[in-house]
A and B are shown apart, each in its own frame.
Chain A
Amino acid sequence: MKKRTLRRGLTAIWWLILIFLYLPLAVVVLFSFNSANSAASFTGVSLRWYKRLMGNEEILSALSNSLILAIVSSAVALVIGCLIGYGMYRHRHRKLGWLIVLIYLPIVLPDIVFGISEMAFFVQIHRMTGLLQPGLGTMIIAHVTFQIPFVALIVYSRFVGLDPTLFEAAKDLYASPAQRAFHFMLPTIKPALISAFFLSFTLSVDDFVISFFTAGPDSATLPIYIWGAIKKGVSPEINAIATLMIGAVTIAAILSLLFSHRRQP
């Protein structure tokens, strides 16, 4: 039948696309275990590239920069974004068009424009005042800027999904404003907050362009290190770091997904 042919064709396309999607990652993972220093032929399984990573000061410092950057920026963005998300929800009946535009701005701005704007701005401020020297600090500022909208939107949508009378029930049951925040609102949106933190973390680790332009000489993150290594000439060590990053981001992302799906009705 014609219909069955169509379906078979679609199934074939689906598997081809899956191969297409995973092949580049699979190659990176595979060659990270290659015993030879070659990207063309696989000669045998070995962990020598991973061992080499351990002794590489530059990589370890890039790793710690990446982690500090991701954790600090996600935490700051979580607080600020959570406040905005709540404000947007609480005042959703007002005209907040300006706020929506502001919140979507970091999302719609092309990475490269985002990155060079901040770089140019930081450099100028630094020249004029001595503040904002390019480094981990400026990178954290930049990352928080693009993480805020995601946190705000996740928190906002969680609040919108709640029965609005819950807020009134909390007031009615003698909860003072502070008690409402800590005994009702925060526990209720906890899954959303965890999911937002993991998403922010993933976005931070995933980012290259913005980090690249706001980094200082000593604040290279893993992606920046990898970029530099690629530019200098391919080394199999990159496969090993890349494999570790693929693993870490995948785990973080899956955790985020698990928490966002554990929403109560």
Chain B
Amino acid sequence: MTPSPLAPEPGTREPDAPRDTDNAAREASSIELLGLHKRFGKDTVALDGVDLTIRAGEFFTLLGPSGCGKTTLLRILAGLEEPDSGSLKIGGLDITDTPPHKRSVNTVFQSYALFPHLSVRDNLAFGLRMLGLPAAEREARVARIAEFIQLNDLVDRKVDQLSGGQRQRIALARALVCEPDVLLLDEPLSALDAGLRSQLQVELLRVQKRLGMTFVFVTHDQQEAMVMSDRIAVLDSGNIQQVGPPREVYERPVNAFVARFMGHDNLFPITRRAEGGWLTTELGDLRCDGEGAGDLLLIRPETLDLLPGEQPGENRLLATVGERLYRGSHAEYRLDIGQTSLQATVNNRGRHLPEVGERITVTVAADDLVTLGK
């Protein structure tokens, strides 16, 4: 293990530095949520019994549409909201009743929430000052974090002289400098434009990997969630729908909500099942490997191959090209099969890309098909 880059240089290290071994740090930063319930007012259920374990050192993402409860969950972790029932442990310690200023948790807020009355330097040092660290150590730590996040030239500015991207990085640095057990990020990139956003995604990921700190990240953008996360929890109406690594959540969604939220449109109700994994949908009969207990068939557009002309066979469907969107690296198709239609994505490898109106054959491998519940 490499030592934390935020740790003092060897030799300058204080005997009681908060993070003496990486193992201890990792132990300290796992999160356990048990039966969390939260209501606002009489009718709005924000969390409806959430059980969740987040491992130490993990980049964990809470993903869902607005109003799904992800922000409430994050705020409960920060201590800014109290759950109606349930408990919350960090590093095995129950902190359900601990007020926010006594939790070793820091947050990067969506609006950044930089203090307007303080300079960048004083913003960075705010948490350390509240913790009562001596001035010399505060300065040293602020200097280290400024170096680490590469904002040395910004520390003497005023907050209102910063651009959006700079504010975002200051907010991140201000939270990291306190070396919390857990860092919470509430849609920290949503206010930035696309280019800056992907640049900061990479930067954030790099920071997390180097520090080995537990990050809990909230977003409504499934692309961002997949890029960043070790694991994703998909939430809807106060319930966790699925928890897993990005590939699992994307490729094996457990229900229609997760599938749709991850961007899948090709969902077809299964009308009949037969021996050998044969399923009947309005597309026709298809064979699906693996256990298939669900009511819906998911066909991912990128698992489809298009063959010219009519070439019937197992897991082959005859279709007419209804629409083609040429995207350069790939093309997106709407294929009409009987009364229904199917989305397909085909990589552009310089081969023939079927034209609108062309009759073609669609093939799909049996182990690429997924069935899922409603």
Do A and B contact each other directly (Cβ–Cβ < 8 Å)? yes
Interface segment, A6-14, A20-28, A160-168, A239-247?
A160-168
CB distance from B218 to the nearest CB of A (A): 14
CB distance from A181 to the nearest CB of B (A): 12
| Distance, CA A78 to CA B102, complexed state (A) | 32
Q: Which of A168, A174, A179 contacts B113 (CB 8 A)?
A: A168
Asked whether B117 lies within 8 Å of A171 as measured between CB atoms, the reply is no
> Is B63 interfacial (CB 8 A cutoff)?
no
Asked whether B127 lies within 8 Å of A173 as measured between CB atoms, the reply is yes
* Residues of A7-42 contacting chain B, CB below 8 A: none
Interface segment, B3-11, B103-111, B145-153, B290-298?
B103-111
Instruction: Report the nearest A residue to B158, measured CB to CB.
Output: A264
Asked whether A171 lies within 8 Å of B113 as measured between CB atoms, the reply is no
Q: Which of B110, B114, B117, B178 contacts A174 (CB 8 A)?
A: B178
Residues of B within 8 A of A190 (CB): 117
Residues of A within 8 A of B99 (CB): 171
Asked whether A172 lies within 8 Å of B160 as measured between CB atoms, the reply is no
Q: Which of A179, A188, A264, A265 contacts B130 (CB 8 A)?
A: A179
> Is B79 interfacial (CB 8 A cutoff)?
yes
> Is B191 interfacial (CB 8 A cutoff)?
no
| Distance, CA A163 to CA B107, complexed state (A) | 15
> Is B374 interfacial (CB 8 A cutoff)?
no
A169-B107, A171-B100, A174-B101 are known contacts. Are A264 and B117 too (CB-CB below 8 A)? yes
| Distance, CA A168 to CA B115, complexed state (A) | 11
| Distance, CA A248 to CA B210, complexed state (A) | 62
Instruction: Report the nearest B residue to A186, measured CB to CB.
Output: B117
Asked whether A174 lies within 8 Å of B80 as measured between CB atoms, the reply is no
CB distance from A229 to the nearest CB of B (A): 47
Asked whether B111 lies within 8 Å of A171 as measured between CB atoms, the reply is no
- Interface residue total, chain A, C-beta cutoff 8 A: 21
Asked whether B130 lies within 8 Å of A176 as measured between CB atoms, the reply is yes
Asked whether A173 lies within 8 Å of B80 as measured between CB atoms, the reply is no
Residues of B within 8 A of A162 (CB): 116
Instruction: Report the nearest B residue to A176, measured CB to CB.
Output: B101
CB distance from B120 to the nearest CB of A (A): 14
| Distance, CA A174 to CA B126, complexed state (A) | 9
> Is A234 interfacial (CB 8 A cutoff)?
no
CB distance from A113 to the nearest CB of B (A): 41
Asked whether B109 lies within 8 Å of A174 as measured between CB atoms, the reply is no
A165-B111, A188-B117, A264-B116 are known contacts. Are A172 and B106 too (CB-CB below 8 A)? yes
Give a binary string over A170-212; 1 marks a CB under 8 Å from any B CB, 0 the rest. 1111111001000110011010000000000000000000000
Instruction: Report the nearest B residue to A264, measured CB to CB.
Output: B116
Residues of B within 8 A of A165 (CB): 109-111, 113
Asked whether B127 lies within 8 Å of A163 as measured between CB atoms, the reply is no
> Is B54 interfacial (CB 8 A cutoff)?
no
Asked whether A173 lies within 8 Å of B109 as measured between CB atoms, the reply is no
Asked whether B107 lies within 8 Å of A168 as measured between CB atoms, the reply is yes
| Distance, CA A172 to CA B159, complexed state (A) | 19
| Distance, CA A190 to CA B130, complexed state (A) | 20
Asked whether A166 lies within 8 Å of B101 as measured between CB atoms, the reply is no
* Residues of B110-133 contacting chain A, CB below 8 A: 110-111, 113-118, 126-127, 129-131
A173-B130, A179-B130 are known contacts. Are A188 and B115 too (CB-CB below 8 A)? yes
A171-B79, A176-B101 are known contacts. Are A265 and B117 too (CB-CB below 8 A)? no
| Distance, CA A190 to CA B129, complexed state (A) | 20
Asked whether B105 lies within 8 Å of A172 as measured between CB atoms, the reply is yes
Question: Which residues on A are within 8 Å of B, measured CB to CB?
Answer: 162-163, 165-166, 168-176, 179, 183-184, 187-188, 190, 264-265
What are the nearest 8 A-B pairs in CB distance?
A173-B127, A169-B113, A264-B116, A165-B113, A171-B100, A174-B130, A175-B130, A172-B107
Given A162-B116, A168-B107, A265-B116, 7 other A-B residues pairs in contact with their CB atoms under 8 A: A163-B113, A168-B78, A171-B79, A172-B100, A173-B130, A187-B118, A265-B160
A-B contact pairs, 10 of them (CB 8 A): A166-B116, A171-B80, A172-B80, A172-B100, A172-B101, A173-B101, A173-B127, A187-B117, A188-B115, A264-B160
